[in-house]
């Protein structure tokens, strides 16, 4: 499509503001959404979260879409009670903050100084000097355990406030849930307001016709922005993109109020969405039932691009085997995705001791994370560190070609409710790389692999069964790769097919809604 034709099409469409609570670069779904929507003629601005000072106000383009990263100050991350003393619960604790550590260090420094001064007095033979030091030394000796006691009480109080597992804590949590209902998140996790205060004003200035809110944190930001716009007389539409079933996730934050608060926040604002999209049909049904949605959410799979542009095809792709230092004859198993205990990567490391010829490579967003370090340490202990490789992500449009150099794609995730209901991103990436699969027996993915014959299924967290499946696939890779030759298998697992669905939703919502032209929207945003 020529630039002139693109401009003509865009003049008939409106502005879409997409919201996501991450740094965008590691999120292939939102990148593809923004790029494809802009290519379809919408004026797209994608707002993400800056993770460091250097990223604040950073902007770039994804095709014709504009990306901006916003600073999100987090003064509300700590709950109100964490700033107050607890005279009844812990009367000896210092007030929250750095005071306890300061007092403890101050007493240590004082004792060290007195010790040196006493040594000097003895060296000089000054009995008077030693006598003068006696009272402060006695006081310091008494004060040191007292400050230590108060310091430990302060630390213990902080731990109790983090765990909040006492009867009183459970009672107060239940009180706010009962009295406030879905609005209880305001008391249970006020940190959600930090996102509103960072994104809300920017969204208002951009004056969108449609807001596309990704996941549960951004749902509230998008819903409130749409409600403000409607109060001003503008019929702004809201699309909620639910990436996962929130009640079924492993909580990101171990604080016992976090998960309860997120679920309440989602429940409060789900009803304001004009359309809901999600990642699987099973999840669509769960969302419709949980939130009483009038229409079943539309499934938009996070599938790879089926036909990359000539420009992207010409890009050099990193050599997976070269980075691992292995030749084409070395069996190579790959995992690509987030690294966390519930992802089951431990089993891939343990298996290296049982399959002596195989190498394993983990392609993860943070190669130095605590969990990855534990995997490396375990490989060292097993004597297989030389066959475990850890590599960083490549750009999302290179993933399929990058992974294709491996012999098998592994998804060893554990049985969490959210893992049971979807075909996850790496499943499609492995499929388009035409890799035989070894996957755990989570419901949807395990059933799909058994139906298509593209790999083997093993019992989650069962090392012996994982080793069996891995050996089976490596022993007859051609049979499993042949599954991808079945006509039509990969056709619907492409982003192009998903983008058509998403564009259809945008068009349906904005047809006749009075959306102004892209150029007019940009002018309005600039004036604001």
What is the per-residue pLDDT across 186-236, written as a single tens digit (0 to 9) for each?
Answer: 999 999 999 999 999 999 999 999 999 999 999 999 999 999 999 999 999
Cβ count within 10 A of residue 494: 18
pLDDT at 354: 96
For residue 157, pLDDT over 90 is answered with no
Determine contact, residues 440/459, Cβ cutoff 8 Å.
yes
Percent of the chain with pLDDT over 70: 92
Statement: 3-75+189-303+498-527 belongs to CATH 3.40.50.2000: yes
Residue in the structure block whose two tokens are 């609005």: 183
What is the mean predicted confidence (pLDDT) over 249-266?
90
For residue 60, pLDDT over 90 is answered with yes
Helix (H, G, I), strand (E, B) or coil at 395: coil
For residue 154, pLDDT over 60 is answered with yes
What is the tens place of the pLDDT at every residue in 345-383?
999 999 999 999 999 999 999 999 999 999 999 999 999
Instruction: Domain ranges for the chain, please list them.
Output: 3-75+189-303+498-527, 82-181, 310-485
Which burial class, exposed, middle or buried, applies to 145 when counting CB atoms under 10 A from its CB (0-12, 13-18, 19+)?
exposed
Q: Which of 150, 121, 106, 115 is nearest to 136 (CA)?
A: 115
Determine contact, residues 506/16, Cβ cutoff 8 Å.
yes
pLDDT at 519: 41
For residue 524, pLDDT over 60 is answered with no
What is the tens place of the pLDDT at every residue in 429-474?
999 999 999 999 999 999 999 999 999 999 999 999 999 999 999 9
Provide the token pair at 12: 């008939």
For residue 89, pLDDT over 90 is answered with no
Question: One fold for both 3-75+189-303+498-527 and 310-485?
Answer: yes
Q: Phi/psi at 2 (nearest 5 deg)?
A: -75, 165
Provide the token pair at 173: 């949590």
What span, in angstroms and rounded, lies between the C-alpha atoms of 424 and 70? 28
What span, in angstroms and rounded, lies between the C-alpha atoms of 376 and 340? 14
Pick the CATH number of 310-485 from 3.30.300.30, 3.50.30.30, 3.40.640.10, 3.40.50.2000: 3.40.50.2000
Sheet strand arrangement including 43-49: 59-62, 65-70, 43-49, 15-19, 210-214, 237-242, 275-278, 298-299
Q: What share of the chain is helix, strand, coil (3-state, %, to 5)?
A: 55, 15, 35
Q: What angle do CA 291, 296, 299 make, to 5 degrees?
A: 115
CA-only gyration radius of the chain, Å: 28
pLDDT at 309: 65
For residue 513, pLDDT over 60 is answered with no
What span, in angstroms and rounded, lies between the C-alpha atoms of 126 and 203? 74
Q: Which residue has the higher pLDDT, 3 or 220?
A: 220
DSSP string, 419-473: GSS---HHHHHHHHTT--EEEE--HHHHHHHHHHTSEEEE-TT-HHHHHHHHHHH
What is the tens place of the pLDDT at every residue in 475-488?
999 999 999 999 88
């Amino acid at each position: 499509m020529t630039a002139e034709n693109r401009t003509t099409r865009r003049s008939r469409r409106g502005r879409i503001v997409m919201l996501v609570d991450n740094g965008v670069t590691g999120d292939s779904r939102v990148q593809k959404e923004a790029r494809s929507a802009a290519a379809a003629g919408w004026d797209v601005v994608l707002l993400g979260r800056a993770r460091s000072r250097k990223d604040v106000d950073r902007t770039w383009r994804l095709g014709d879409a504009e990306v901006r990263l916003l600073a999100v100050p987090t003064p509300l991350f700590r709950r109100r009670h964490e700033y107050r003393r607890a005279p009844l619960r812990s009367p000896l604790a210092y007030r929250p903050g750095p005071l306890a550590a300061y007092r403890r260090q101050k007493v240590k420094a004082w004792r060290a100084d007195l010790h040196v001064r006493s040594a000097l007095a003895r060296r000089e033979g000054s009995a008077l000097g030693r006598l003068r030091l006696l009272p402060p030394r006695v006081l310091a000796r008494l004060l040191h355990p007292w400050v230590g006691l108060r310091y430990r009480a302060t630390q213990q109080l902080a731990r109790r406030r983090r765990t909040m597992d006492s009867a009183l804590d459970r009672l107060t949590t239940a009180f706010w849930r009962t009295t406030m209902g879905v609005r209880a998140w305001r008391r249970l996790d006020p940190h959600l307001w930090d996102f509103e205060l960072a994104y809300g004003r920017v969204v208002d200035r951009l004056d969108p016709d449609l807001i596309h809110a990704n996941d549960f944190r951004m749902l509230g930001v998008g819903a409130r922005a749409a409600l403000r716009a409607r109060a001003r007389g503008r019929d702004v539409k809201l699309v909620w993109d639910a990436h996962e079933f929130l009640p079924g996730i492993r909580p990101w934050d171990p604080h016992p109020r976090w998960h309860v608060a997120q679920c309440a926040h989602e429940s409060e604002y789900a009803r304001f969405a004009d359309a809901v999209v999600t990642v699987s049909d099973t999840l669509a049904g769960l969302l419709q039932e949980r939130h009483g949605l009038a229409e079943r959410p539309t499934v938009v799979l996070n599938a790879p691009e089926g036909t990359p542009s000539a420009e992207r095809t010409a890009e050099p792709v990193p050599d997976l085997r070269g980075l691992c230092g292995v030749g084409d004859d070395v069996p190579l198993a790959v995992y690509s995705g987030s690294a966390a205990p519930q992802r089951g990567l431990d089993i891939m490391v343990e298996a290296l001791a049982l399959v002596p010829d195989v190498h394993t490579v983990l392609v993860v967003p943070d190669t130095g994370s605590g969990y990855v370090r534990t995997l490396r340490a375990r490989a060292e202990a097993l004597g297989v560190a030389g066959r475990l490789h850890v590599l960083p992500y490549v750009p999302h449009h290179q993933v399929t070609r990058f992974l294709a150099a491996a012999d098998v794609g592994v998804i060893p995730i554990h049985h969490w409710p959210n893992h049971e209901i979807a075909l996850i991103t790496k499943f499609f990436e492995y499929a388009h790389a035409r890799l035989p699969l070894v996957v755990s027996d989570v419901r949807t993915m395990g059933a799909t692999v058994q139906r298509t014959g593209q790999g083997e299924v093993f019992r989650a967290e069962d090392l012996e069964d994982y080793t069996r499946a891995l050996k089976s696939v490596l022993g007859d890779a051609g049979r499993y790769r042949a599954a991808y030759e079945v006509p039509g298998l990969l056709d619907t697992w492409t982003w192009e097919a998903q983008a058509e669905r998403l564009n259809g939703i945008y068009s349906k919502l904005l047809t006749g809604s009075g959306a102004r032209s892209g150029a007019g929207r940009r002018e309005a945003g600039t004036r604001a």
